[in-house]
Chain A
Amino acid sequence: MQDIKAQVKSYIAENFLFGENVGFGDEDSLLARGVLDSTGVLELVMFLETTYGFKVRDEELLPENLDSLLAIEAYVRSKLDGRVPAAVVHPSR
């Protein structure tokens, strides 16, 4: 199994950060750091769909699934394993 987190991180670094030195950790909110905005989230969704071959459903389009590297990794794993993703709100970590 490929390293999902590393793959997503390099996609984000390559497509949204470039020369800008915006370091972000695994748990950091990508929106709050200004790494992604609403269009960026849609691009990320397209990347996940084409790379991992599943459909992101409307009700899964949530910050709990997509707003940090850890969240994205957990979400992608659950989708690949055919489980119901953590689409419900979790208290903030």
Chain B
Amino acid sequence: MLLHQQFEATAKRRTDTVGLVAGDRRLTFGEIWQRATCLAATIRRCGVQRGDRVIIFLPNSPEMAIAVYATLQVGAIFSPLSPQTKAGKLAYIFQDCAPTCLITDARLAAVWRTALNGADSLRTVIVSGLLDSNPGSLSFIRFDDATREGDALHDHPQTIDQDLASIIYTSGSTGDPKGVMLTHLNMVSAANSISTYLGLREDDVIFCALPLSFDYGLYQILMAFKVGARVVLEPSFAFPVKALEIMERERATVFPGVPTMFSMLMALGNLSQFPLVHLRMITNTAAALPEQHIKEIRSLFPQARLFSMYGLTECKRVTYLPPDQLDTRPTSVGRCMPNEEVYLVDERGTRLPPGSVGELVVRGSHVMRGYWGKPHETAKRLRPGPYPGERVLHTGDLFRMDDEGYLYFVGRMDDIIKSRGEKVAPREVENVLCALPGTLEAAVVGVDDPVLGEAVKAYVVLKPGYVYSERDVVKFCLANLESFMAPKYVEFLRDLPKTTTGKIDKTALKHRRADT
């Protein structure tokens, strides 16, 4: 089974059912599939081949879903990027995976036009919305023209489930984003396991304000289109009351969120005006919910079952806590999902018995094929499994497992910060801080934050003669990084604490915070 075939079956079965709602637009499954097929024919005609990379740089929109399924139909690999992506990072990704096609929006033109310089592999750009001018040698095609009826895909690529379906970029500890390679088998397996344990049904209405560039958001579409459920898509959760109004109007039954969204909801005074009687399921992942928040969410939405989950892009999802276990073990991230094995190992890779603390290892068909073009980083995460040729995922996360197989998060083995549910690589922020002319050295750590989970804190040592305000530093970071990576706090120090080997002592920096 290929990823898009899961949707094709739904499009045939529920052709005239509304599958996607976005603002005042309502699209049926049949219409989405039809437009995806037209777009597939267009990009095929432009030369996009099986195995080519297609960058999808779009806000949450029906166009994004159409672009995903069009890319899969030609046997190409889609790579979804957040509309917050800055030109520098986009240019890096163009270099990294050498896409032949970009599908984007005219409103993001200032960013992608800048990044196009040096993107030699690109031959086709599909643009939704109105583009004011069309310079350069690239062929620009309007999204609406590219999805017009009448076109059909004539030659079907011989895609098999070992082929890549997607490359999803995630923050790497070196500072450069890493492209997680996922096959059709990986993604179909993950979608099957998750939709099974959640019990997703075709009468479900999923309210999705998560970015589709993020696997948690993307899978809302993939799973809904597999089971035939409806997705109500919002560009963001910036306006929580608006979100509630839409959930009420559309009779949402499923609300996937991250801790920051739940904090925003809990801060509202008028939540009770939205009874949300149809809501039957709330899911949380990306970062753990504090126990107190679990209690509050359950009392605010007693009609809904709450699923606490844990995962990473490299295998999509690892564990879920069945809602009936919340009272017994509220701090657990749960146990393995169907068709998956998880276990803990020590530093030598030896399996550990229940009760111990060790690195979590994941085994199953959903485990990625590695990082695009990064064999060294891949080898750190993917190690030999029990059978010849098999590879298992070493998560880099430390857990404790109880006697019944439930897992409790202990900490990370690297220094990745999780802020607003997104991964922040300290190195990536430090690289930008060090690009400030007055910076002598800089270090970034995560500090506990009630809303963000962790907040990014920067320690900066300035060169003599330079004076910056905290705001100057934050502004410079905002100009060069996605906003979730910019430090919330900046502290200027005379020097940074060092270890005996001369490395910056991040533990000391964290303790320093604890003292003050």
| Interface of A toward B, CB cutoff 8 Å | 14-23, 28-29, 31-34, 36-42, 58-59, 61-63, 66, 89, 91-92
Asked if A38 and B238 sit within 8 Å, CB to CB, the answer is yes
B 472-493 binary contact with A (CB < 8 Å = 1; else 0): 0001101100011000000000
The count of A-to-B residue pairs whose CB atoms sit within 8 angstroms is 82
| Interface of B toward A, CB cutoff 8 Å | 23-24, 59, 83-87, 105, 107-108, 110-111, 114, 235-242, 245, 260, 264, 268-270, 420, 475-476, 478-479, 483-484
| Complex contacts, B420 vs chain A, CB 8 Å | 39
| Complex contacts, A42 vs chain B, CB 8 Å | 238
Q: How far is the CA of A41 from the CA of B240 in the complex (A)?
A: 11
Can you name 21 A-B residue pairings with CB atoms under 8 Å? A14-B475, A15-B478, A19-B479, A20-B110, A31-B238, A32-B105, A32-B235, A34-B83, A37-B236, A37-B238, A37-B483, A38-B238, A38-B264, A39-B420, A39-B484, A58-B269, A62-B239, A62-B242, A66-B239, A91-B24, A92-B24
| Complex contacts, B238 vs chain A, CB 8 Å | 31, 36-38, 40-42, 63
Given A29-B107, A92-B23, also A20-B239 (CB < 8 A): no
The chain B residue sitting closest to A14, CB to CB, is B475
Q: How far is the CA of A63 from the CA of B237 in the complex (A)?
A: 11
4 cross-chain pairs, A with B, having the tightest CB-CB distances, nearest first: A18-B479, A38-B238, A41-B238, A34-B83
| Complex contacts, A22 vs chain B, CB 8 Å | 110-111
Asked if B484 and A33 sit within 8 Å, CB to CB, the answer is no
Checking B242, B268, B483 against A63 with a beta-carbon cut-off of 8 angstroms, the contacting residue is B242
| Complex contacts, B264 vs chain A, CB 8 Å | 38
Checking B105, B235, B483 against A40 with a beta-carbon cut-off of 8 angstroms, the contacting residue is B483
| Complex contacts, B24 vs chain A, CB 8 Å | 91-92
Asked if A62 and B241 sit within 8 Å, CB to CB, the answer is yes
Asked if B270 and A31 sit within 8 Å, CB to CB, the answer is no
| Complex contacts, A61 vs chain B, CB 8 Å | 239-242
Asked if B479 and A20 sit within 8 Å, CB to CB, the answer is yes
A88 to chain B, nearest CB (A): 10
Given A20-B86, A39-B483, A91-B24, also A32-B475 (CB < 8 A): no
| Complex contacts, B476 vs chain A, CB 8 Å | 18
